[in-house]
């Protein structure tokens, strides 16, 4: 089974509070899950090569102190070696915009930048099925989110319905041999829950929203 490391540093335990209705039960049934509440515990697990997926539930790794920056550097290098790292939970809601831009630019060397926190109609784009399966993803919905700009089309999973360059709701890109995912959602609904599982490649046939006839066509 895949090993999922959840990072929760800011006085909040992801496992003790049900942000998403079905996410934690599904994770526990499809992977081995460990939650790190301290940076040192996270460093120990990553240095051992244990996680195959890292879920970042708050913006602790973006802080300016030396320990946080060291962990972020370790996560970047570990991601490049094949891990999938995803920001979710309270990350988008509480991250400082300038620190997020620093993470994208200076650590992951991606062009992504913060645009704005707003509400918009969201739609699923046509993306590489080798990167992420879309059968279980909701095709369109309305959401409040932290949107990104300067995200290439190949990195965009969900965007604002206007199609503007400044309205990326969810981004996903290869980083070395691994992947980085960003989910801007602020509502903890079914849509981001499904997206987290799909980004982790932990979606299952029973999660599919595609009708059998559509799958055969």
Q: What is the pTM of this model?
A: 0.93
The total of other beta-carbon atoms located within 10 Å of residue 141's CB is 17
Q: How far is CA 80 from CA 100, 164, 174, 209, in A?
A: 19, 30, 8, 32
pLDDT of residue 216: 41
Distance CA 52, CA 87 (A): 15
What is the number of structural domains in the chain?
1
Is pLDDT of 66 > 70? yes
Question: What value does the mean pLDDT take over residues 130-154?
Answer: 94
Query: What domain range includes position 21?
Result: 3-216
109-119 pLDDT, tens digit each: 999 999 999 99
Please state, in angstroms and rounded to a whole number, the distance separating the CA atoms of residues 200 and 181.
9
Containing 116, the helix (H) or strand (E) segment is strand 113-124
For the cut 60, the answer to whether the pLDDT of residue 183 exceeds it is: yes
Within 10 A of 140 (CB to CB), how many other CB atoms are there? 11
Report whether pLDDT(213) > 50. Answer: no
- pLDDT at residue 138, as a whole number: 96
DSSP H helices in 81-154: 91-94, 97-102
67-122: per-residue pLDDT in tens? 999 999 999 999 999 999 999 999 999 999 999 999 999 999 999 999 999 999 99
pLDDT at res. 165: 53
* Average pLDDT of span 15-31: 84
Q: Domain holding 54: CATH number?
A: 3.40.50.880
């Amino acid at each position: 089974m895949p090993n999922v490391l959840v990072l929760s540093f800011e006085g909040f335990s992801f496992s003790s509070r049900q942000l998403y209705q079905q996410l934690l039960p599904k994770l526990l049934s499809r992977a081995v899950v460990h939650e790190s509440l301290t940076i040192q515990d996270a460093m120990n697990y990553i240095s051992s090569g244990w996680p195959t997926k890292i879920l970042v539930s708050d913006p602790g790794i973006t802080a300016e102190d030396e320990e946080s920056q060291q962990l972020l550097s370790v996560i970047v290098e570990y991601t490049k070696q094949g891990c999938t790292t995803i920001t979710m939970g309270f990350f988008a809601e509480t991250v400082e915009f300038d620190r997020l831009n620093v993470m994208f630019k200076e650590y992951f060397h991606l062009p992504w930048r913060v645009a704005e926190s707003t509400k918009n109609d969201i739609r699923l784009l046509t993306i590489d099925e080798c990167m992420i399966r879309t059968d279980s993803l909701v095709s369109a919905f309305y959401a409040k989110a932290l949107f990104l700009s300067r995200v290439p089309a190949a990195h965009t999973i969900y965007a604002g319905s206007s199609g503007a360059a400044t309205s990326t709701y969810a981004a996903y890109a290869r980083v070395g041999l691994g992947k980085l995912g960003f989910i801007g959602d602020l509502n903890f609904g079914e849509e981001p829950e499904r997206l987290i599982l799909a980004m982790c490649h932990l979606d299952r046939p029973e999660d599919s929203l595609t009708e059998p006839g559509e799958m055969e066509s």
